[in-house]
Each structure stands twice: as C-alpha cells, then as structure tokens.
Amino acid sequence: MPSQTLDDATLAGLVADATAAPSMHNAQPWQFRYTRAGRTLTLRADLERAMPEADPDTRALHVGCGAALLNLRVSAAHHGLDAVTALLPEPSDPAVLAAVRLGVRPDAPREPADEALAALHPAIRDRHTSRYPFDEQTIPEDIRAQFADAARIEGADFAFLAPIHLETVLELIRDAEGYDRGDPAREAEQEHWTRNTKTEAPVDGIPDYAFGPRDASERATTRDFAGTGVLPGRARVRFENRPQLALLSTPGDHPTDWLSAGQALERVLLTATLHQVSTSFATQPLEWPDLRWLLRDPVYGTGHAQMIIRLGYGPSGPRTPRRPLDQVLTIEP
C-alpha cells in the first residue's frame, strides 16, 4: 500500500467492521467522514437516530458509538494501520465524537497493544446478541479474568455479580421491564425500532427473527422486543435459572466516559466471542435514573453503571441487519 494513501476498499472494510458493533435497538446512530488530505476518519453521532424517551441524555448512543470506535481500531490494527484517536476533538460540536488519523506503518514489528487489538478481528463478524437461553455451565475464572482485563485496558471496570447482588439486579431488571410496558411513549419508541421481516427488508432495528423466545418462567433478563404485543408462533422456553450477569462501569459519567464504556464493552464482547461465550444485554434499569444508581454493588461498588451484560454458553444469536455503507460513510478530498 503506498505510504500516503488509503485505498477505498480498505476504507470500506474499516467502516464495515466499525458498523458491525452493537447499538441500542440496533439504531446504528453513527456517521463516518473520511478526509483524504488529513487521512482522518471522523465519527459523528447521528442524532436523528437518538431515542428521547429511553435515552434522553444520549448516554446509550455514545456507548454504541464507542463500540463502533473500538471495532474501527481493531480493524485498523488488522490492516497494519496506525490509528491515532482523539475523543470529542471539537468542543464546539459535541456531536463529533472521535477523530481517528490513519497512518500506514513501515515494515517494523507491531507493538504488543496493536497485536492484541488485531487478534480480536476475527470476532467482529461472529459477534451477535443472543436472546436465547444459555446453559448452566459456569464461565471459568481465567476467562472471566480476561474479560475484566479487556475492560480495564479501555478504562472501565467489569465484574460478575455476586449472588446477593445478582438477585437485587434481577429484581431491578424486572421492575424496569414493567415500567417500560406501562409507559406508552417508551413502548411506541421501542416498537418504532422493531422490524417485521414478512413486510420489509430491514437495514436497521431489531428484526422479529432476533426477538428470541419468551421465558416460560417470566424471569428472562433480555429485553422483550415484542413488548405488550404477541408474535404468532413464538416459542416459550425456560431460560437459565441463575444467569451470569456482569456490570460494566466507569469512574465518571460524562460523554468521554460513555465512549470509553462503549470501547470497553466491545472489547469484552469480542474477547467473549473468541472464547465461544455468547452475550446479550439487560439495559432496562439503566434507562430509569431512579433504578440506575441502585445497580452498584452495595458493598464494593464504585463508579457509574454503564452496561449489564449477560454471558454464558448457548446459541450465538442471529446476524442482524446493517445499513449500507453509502448511508454511513462520506469521503472528502
């Protein structure tokens, strides 16, 4: 590859990898702009895809964009590119979330940090959210430690919930799910981001085939995207009795922290995927301020809760749609 250029095929691959990241309701709230002169890829929040009911401060939007940023860094390392990243580089425009200057390396050996990022690349396309039951097999301690290390590298804390704390969080998840179903505006917002694949070919949102089954015991932690509606033919099965939930948190609770949380989240998810550990999210109580602050461990908890992750061994979940690159990428001279 010439030292001063980045060809369009490589650029498209970088952005395609970035957009494989998870986001709230699969809204994909990002835009990328590449300037050839500065060899810089700018990540901007697509605020038309914000969710004013469930995410009024755009915290979750930032987390999703942070996950896309981590994927971009992984892809750059895979392609042998330097990726010098600045968060919130334009204070006058907070919708500009990150600027990544891409440089072509000489033939020198890669740094260990870049090797570690590049090693995650195969997991980008295999990572999917699984709203299916997991088995009761406990994730080994050495693998759990790798998840904590992955989050720590990106400036976040990751900890599995102890039994007493787990019961509290499960109650908060169920409370939040009930609050959501009792709030017509939130119910409508969620429905706006679900897709009936019998009548449309979606490029975003949660398709009906990804809802997963209902929990026969009504104790599932995953969000039920059917809401108060009924999906014909949907199975009812029992989920794991004691889900393995982990809390990801950050020291602060500002846009930079949310972006760091998203990068930490995706680094954990990719690490889990490499270990054949399936994942999903339980974000419902994070979306209610009076419940979110209760999520911290009452004895050891510090920081601000940014994500509840469910992990375990089971189906990896189906691939969900992504927007075409011409909708998310602009190339400028």
CA atoms within 13 A on the CB side of 282: 28
CA atoms within 13 A on the CB side of 131: 24
pLDDT tens for residues 38-83?
999 999 999 999 999 999 999 999 999 999 999 999 999 999 999 9
Question: Which residues have C-beta within 8 Å of that of residue 224, sequence separation ≥ 6?
Answer: 177, 211, 214
Higher per-residue pLDDT: 301 or 155? 155
Question: How high is the pLDDT of residue 106?
Answer: 64
Beta-sheet pairing, 194-195 with 206-207 = parallel
Query: Which of 251, 233, 245 is closest to 310 using CA atoms?
Result: 245
Percent of the chain surpassing pLDDT 70: 97
Asked if pLDDT for residue 4 goes beyond 70, the answer is no
Asked if pLDDT for residue 299 goes beyond 80, the answer is no
> Which structure tokens are listed for 103?
């440089």
Higher per-residue pLDDT: 107 or 183? 183
Asked if pLDDT for residue 86 goes beyond 70, the answer is yes
Q: If you average pLDDT over residues 148-175, what whole number do you get?
A: 96
Per DSSP, 294 falls in state: G
End-to-end CA distance of the chain: 19
CA atoms within 13 A on the CB side of 4: 2
Which H helix or E strand runs over 61?
Answer: helix 59-78
- Banded model confidence at residue 107, pLDDT cuts 50, 70, 90: low
- pTM of the entire structure? 0.96
> Which structure tokens are listed for 8?
């369009």
Torsional sign, CA 129, 133, 135, 136: positive
Question: How high is the pLDDT of residue 295?
Answer: 95
Most confident of the following: 53-67, 208-222, 230-244: 53-67
Strands, DSSP E only, in 66-192?
81-87, 96-104, 157-160
Question: How high is the pLDDT of residue 96?
Answer: 98
Asked which of 40-49, 81-90, 290-299 is least confident by mean pLDDT, the reply is 290-299
State CA 260 to chain mean position distance: 12
Question: How high is the pLDDT of residue 108?
Answer: 65
Axis crossing angle, helix 141-153 with helix 255-274, rounded to the nearest 10: 150
Spatial separation of the C-alpha atoms in residues 121 and 295, rounded to whole Å = 32
What is the three-class DSSP state of 206?
A: strand
Question: How high is the pLDDT of residue 228?
Answer: 77
